[in-house]
Amino acid sequence: MNIDSWLQLIFYMVVLIALVKPLGLFMARVYQGERTFLSPLMRPVEKVIYRLSGVRPDEEMNWKVYAFAMLLFNGLGLLVVYGLQRLQGFLPLNPQAFGAVSPDSSWNTAVSFATNTNWQGYGGETTMSYLTQMLAMTVQNFVSAATGMAIVIAMIRGLVRHTAKTIGNFWLDLTRSVLYILLPLAFVLALLLVSQGVVQTFSQSKTAALLQPATDTNGNTVTQQILAVGPAASQVAIKQLGTNGGGFFNANSAHPFENPTPLSNFLEMLSILLIPAALCYTFGKMVGDTRQGWAILAAMTIIFVALLASTVWAEQTGNPAIASLGVDIQQSNINPGGNMEGKEVRFGVANSALWATATTAASNGSVDSMHDSNMPLGGMIPLWLMHLGEVIYGGVGSGLYGMLAFVIVAVFVAGLMVGRTPEYLGKKIEAYEMKMASLILLIPVFTALVGTAIGVMTAVGKATIYNPGPHGFTEVLYAFSSATANNGSAFAGLGVNTPFYNTALGIIMFFARYWLAIPALAIGGSLALKKKVPASGAGTLATHTPLFILWLIAVVIIVGALGFLPALALGPIVEHLMIFH
């Protein structure tokens, strides 16, 4: 890889880390109810929302009420998205006159967007009306992201408070997440994307004359091409910032109308990790020790950089089978080199590998290249990032509360090894917290592997596996891992828009989102009830040191390896050996 590619990757990481503190500090002020530069504009709007909805923002909730409010809100949102898809043929803003979406696809998509997964078994420009895209998909992009942010803030309050029965107000946290953080950032990003050529219009599809006539599969001469357009920029902005990932177009951010220039590509990639990374600083600020936030961010970043380098190496090495045909796969000033299958020439290997790593690290799932076309190891790294529990930055909110579950496990195991009572931020970590943390860590392993087993053992699951052997197995594993991790990216060689996959993946997305969110809130509620105790002196593990960062990294990797290494050996690892040996 040449120096330009390395500089692009380094520049990306530098800009990302530089934005962590200012955005993280701003979010901490928002959630602590302090005045910000947006307060004069948003406070009146916030008060009107509470008045119209009957919410009392000063009325706090215990963790069970908080969880019930979260489930009720998300459940109603799921029903609305389902209904809009089924009725879109009778609703306005449908210039292409699309009919109702099938029941199984509507179920899958409704669960997908409500759970911040944005798995798409449909082509947006050929399936969804403008109204459905905006009122269903875009709105859920905001509120599903805000739900994850609210959950982690409630969990943080549990660490901060002592002998308290409440962890905040869900409606307050949800509203502030949307009004003060997601809406302003999405507004600015949407304007920047429009300036780069991302489409934003209510016009119907356009027809363009081909420079050279072509022939379709039936032998008919084609002289025109239909170009789908629509209100894409507004959806693209929040799909990236909210780690949602659902594309307005079927090709997602590989489509030139979603991602036309190198600058738009950089902005969209930066947006994927921006809020999850900044929330680490928000955490440190809210618990009164920013070193704690930097330590968690350091662990995430070290793992991310190592896996990014591995993905870049795998893709830049290229395919020896292609090289054996006499094709030059060496990088030069006129040749991108490496494995360019499934990649946009305007982005190349480095930016495609960076996006693939960032989108699966952050529970985003959007793509600017096709992961199914990656080399076996280049596809395995994004897959394994999901297997780590989407905690390497992770989804907005969900990534941090997942990593805090790993922190609890790391602290508990370290305490057992040295014979001291495990403590974290002045709170004793006991059996209840470990049980809840274990659920957060183990449920994704169970759902991904059981779903994959059903997919490869049943006739309905095998019917749409179009690639035999280990690659076909990897495609099924990737699909159920993506649903479990609420990621939404896919290996496109598997046919998933079927009643079996739509139903099964929808169930897993629902289960994996809320059966992890509820234990996270339970941990917050349990810790809030406890007294703060001073550090017990020598032998207590300091959780902001390089030693703890390395220990946390080890725990994350060990859990990911123990859970999924056998499955990876059956898929991408054996496929790699078949190609190179």
What is the arithmetic mean of pLDDT over 566-579? 94
SS3 state at 227: strand
Percent of the chain whose predicted confidence (pLDDT) is above 70: 99
Instruction: Tell me: pLDDT of 458 over 90.
Output: yes
Distance CA 422, CA 410 (A): 9
- pLDDT category at 536 given cuts 50, 70, 90 is low
Distance CA 416, CA 422 (A): 7
What is the arithmetic mean of pLDDT over 565-571? 94
Q: What is the number of H-type helices and E-type strands within the chain?
A: 22, 4
What is the arithmetic mean of pLDDT over 195-203? 93
DSSP per-residue codes, 526-548:
HHHHSPP----STT---TTSHHH
pLDDT (tens digit per residue) in 301-330: 999 999 999 999 999 998 888 888 888 888
Residue tagged 């930055």 (tokens): 393
pLDDT (tens digit per residue) in 27-85: 999 999 999 999 999 999 999 999 999 999 989 999 999 999 999 999 999 999 999 99
pTM of the complete model: 0.94
Per-residue pLDDT, 361: 95
Structure tokens at 416: 């057992």
Using alpha carbons, select from 326, 334, 329 the residue that is nearest to residue 375.
Answer: 329
The conformational region for residue 245 under phi > 0 = left, psi -120 to 50 = alpha, else beta, is left
- Write the CB contacts of 208 (distance below 8 Å, at least 6 apart in sequence): 224, 225, 227
Question: Residue 447 in contact with residue 484, Cβ under 8 Å?
Answer: yes
C-alpha distances in angstroms, 27 versus 46, 70, 190, 280? 16, 20, 20, 10
Per-residue pLDDT, 189: 97
Q: Report CA torsion sign: 292, 359, 442, 572.
A: negative
pLDDT (tens digit per residue) in 378-432: 999 999 999 999 999 999 999 999 999 999 999 999 988 877 778 999 999 999 9
SS3 state at 423: strand
Instruction: Tell me: pLDDT of 88 over 80.
Output: yes
What is the arithmetic mean of pLDDT over 6-24? 96
Distance CA 410, CA 548 (A): 9
What is the arithmetic mean of pLDDT over 362-369? 93
- Chain Cα centroid distance, residue 308: 16
Using alpha carbons, select from 145, 141, 148 the residue that is nearest to residue 239.
Answer: 141
Using alpha carbons, select from 373, 378, 341 the residue that is nearest to residue 357.
Answer: 378
Question: Residue 329 in contact with residue 337, Cβ under 8 Å?
Answer: yes
Instruction: Tell me: pLDDT of 539 over 70.
Output: no
Per-residue pLDDT, 492: 84
Q: What is the CA radius of gyration of the chain?
A: 23
Structure tokens at 246: 């659902």
What is the arithmetic mean of pLDDT over 245-267? 93
What is the arithmetic mean of pLDDT over 119-131? 91
C-alpha distances in angstroms, 1 versus 266, 304, 381? 19, 19, 19
* Residue with the larger pLDDT of the pair 119 and 329: 119
C-alpha distances in angstroms, 468 versus 304, 381, 476? 31, 21, 11
SS3 state at 498: coil
Distance CA 133, CA 39 (A): 30
C-alpha distances in angstroms, 254 versus 247, 356, 380? 10, 12, 20
Using alpha carbons, select from 272, 247, 554 the residue that is nearest to residue 399.
Answer: 272
Ramachandran angles phi, psi of 465, nearest 5°: -90, 105
Per-residue pLDDT, 537: 57
DSSP 8-state symbol, 205: P
What is the arithmetic mean of pLDDT over 248-258? 92
Instruction: Tell me: pLDDT of 550 over 90.
Output: yes
Distance CA 284, CA 293 (A): 4
Burial of 210 by CB count in 10 Å (0-12 exposed, 13-18 middle, 19+ buried)? exposed
**Kind plus residue range of the DSSP H or E element containing 445:** helix 431-457
Instruction: Tell me: pLDDT of 495 over 70.
Output: yes
Output the average pLDDT for the chain: 93
Structure tokens at 444: 């994704």
